[in-house]
Structure 1
């Protein structure tokens, strides 16, 4: 890596700056970084939290300092024309106030130079590690913001305690607000009542909760599939890769294809689950040793079964892909393959 890590960071900083333009407060605090001074912070502390300083505008101006200090107040008092109001306030400042912001801007410039010097004096390996830390934190910020903007659906875990009935007497012990909207107090009461139920009642409620969870998972899969297909169709690929998860994408693909292919078992795995394996006391640890001691005929039988297993798995895989292609989801398959490559996985349906 070049000795000047700031030149390497320029493209990444531009990405974050572009994504921050919709929020003036975030733009000034993250991109300009003017709400935090580093003059009194130790060098080691600065290097452990590089994103607080690297993501700053090259030359802080008095106006940017004024905006960073006053934007929260203006946003609270006014909901519209915030930029115009800030500009008008700044123009109406007295000479003494303007000088104060000029001094602060100059101080921030000195802070920047101090940090630049700290980075430039680092060994090459330390610079690489610092750059990796910065980019990881930036990617996390981008991922969080994109997920929020795209309204990604989430799966909520249904608690079996919600099925425990509260009597009027139970509710009378609660305050009006908690009684109407719920809360930890209700959960506490339900937990105590759960302890008094019989095992049969608990089993009945657990089975009912299981059905509800399955229904909620199906509903979640439908919403997640709509979200992912829309995302891939309408967003730039480089922009959405950071927020796509392999496990979630595989769930969506299986749901849309209406088939979930299973991996082909090897001859050794077939031996592990066979009656012969059980007779010989096979385990995961000793399966290779015991399999190698089998006769040629016995091995041949398991190899023939493994061959049929592979044929079955290949057929299911082809059906899976054909179903997705018939539904016009070729782009989804391509993104899946590229995502697998990015994560170092094989680009097949079992990754």
Structure 2
């Protein structure tokens, strides 16, 4: 897990491992079957693209992510009803990505302005709105949005430090850091206004936090570990993410009722990360396997299940799960390191 020494690499590229996953899957392609109860569907890409990812998914089956075009530009995308929709750019900008979506179909992420820096963005009804920055800052991104329209992410401040922020009603609120910390980022917000993410600490480690009623609480790490990050929280207050362990590898965790639980890995793997949890307590993420590649997993009732990949692919990553059990994410194919995918049980 990366720490605060390079905050932009951690915040902008490692979050939910959307891009890190692509790096993990450029290897020898080997076919893998999906879990017997799930079918996997390729959601495709924007025209002129052969690389796409998908992040969270709402109860309407809408999921968001991005596609990388042939000219190298990255565009935020919405996947719904078999269509791949370009969510647009700021005037003069050339790149955008979407990382969160709520039940109203409002998506958040970032878009580059005419200068070289990204700004947190709201994608809603065909419009792209700048969510703003902390005073003196020049760079921000939003990662999550709740059903009230409150979004969270990070913004640089006047000292060039990235801080967790709340974007709400046109105001950007600095959530600060854990005591002694310098960097932080918020990754998810539930409908109760509880926020989770990560912050550096006085000993320069990175720890998961829960921000509730104005107080940022350190969630600690798994036994023997010294770093962690929280990526999602549901409306029951259950938190998931990843933590280092005594063995030195990161493991997916579930945090509830003051206890951080190690979810382990897929058979033969040594590292894992949990990216999303629904209201039923089902958890999805990615885990290494015996071959060293990364596969998407579903964790429920104490069992972690390999969700497999698209035909010809050797790696996959699950980023979101709704209460119907539909799972969004990415998979390598026989000819691309990443396509947005949907795992489903034919319920819809």
Greater share of strand: 2
Does 1 or 2 have the higher relative contact order (CA < 8 Å, sep 6+)? 2
Looking at secondary structure, tell me which structure has more helix per residue.
Answer: 1
Given the two structures, how large is their TM-score scaled by the length of structure 1? 0.21
TM score, norm. by length of structure 2: 0.21
